[in-house]
């Protein structure tokens, strides 16, 4: 069983997908379904809150990239918020960090509702 927790919240610029735990091959279907639900339809500015995502394997990263590509075809974008060092390192190693807008909260930023 996957140790990935997925929830949604509403952010200032659009939906926020909150990921926590570890995203590995056992979580691919759940991750893909959550991403697809958020980016289907019109242009969307999706934020993925990765502050509590401790690990993401290459299969999970591929799922995130596919979602970012799908959002771009609809004139949207995907922002990764506060990726943990291990996740940021994986993005860098796979040379896919440019696929996302990566943002870090400042001390004054509030967490999204529910997060």
Give the pLDDT score at 2.
62
Backbone φ and ψ of 51, nearest 5°: -60, -30
- pTM: predicted TM-score of the whole model, two decimal places: 0.86
Is the pLDDT at 81 greater than 70, yes or no? yes
Q: For the chain, how long is the longest CA-to-CA vector?
A: 36
Evaluate whether 86 touches 110 at the Cβ level (below 8 Å): no
Beta-bridge partners for 21 = 4, 53
Question: What is the tens place of the pLDDT at every residue in 10-43?
Answer: 888 888 999 999 999 999 999 999 999 988 877 6
């Amino acid at each position: 069983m996957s140790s990935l927790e997925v929830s949604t919240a509403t952010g200032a610029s659009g939906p926020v997908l909150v990921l926590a735990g570890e995203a590995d091959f056992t979580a691919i279907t759940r991750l893909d379904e959550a991403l697809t639900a958020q980016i289907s339809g019109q242009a969307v500015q999706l934020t993925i809150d990765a502050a509590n995502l401790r690990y993401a394997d290459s299969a999970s990263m591929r799922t995130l990239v596919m979602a970012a590509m799908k959002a771009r075809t609809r004139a949207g974008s995907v922002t990764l918020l506060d990726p943990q060092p291990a996740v940021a390192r994986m993005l860098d190693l796979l040379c896919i960090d440019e696929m996302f807008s990566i943002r870090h909260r400042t001390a004054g930023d509030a967490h999204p509702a529910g997060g």
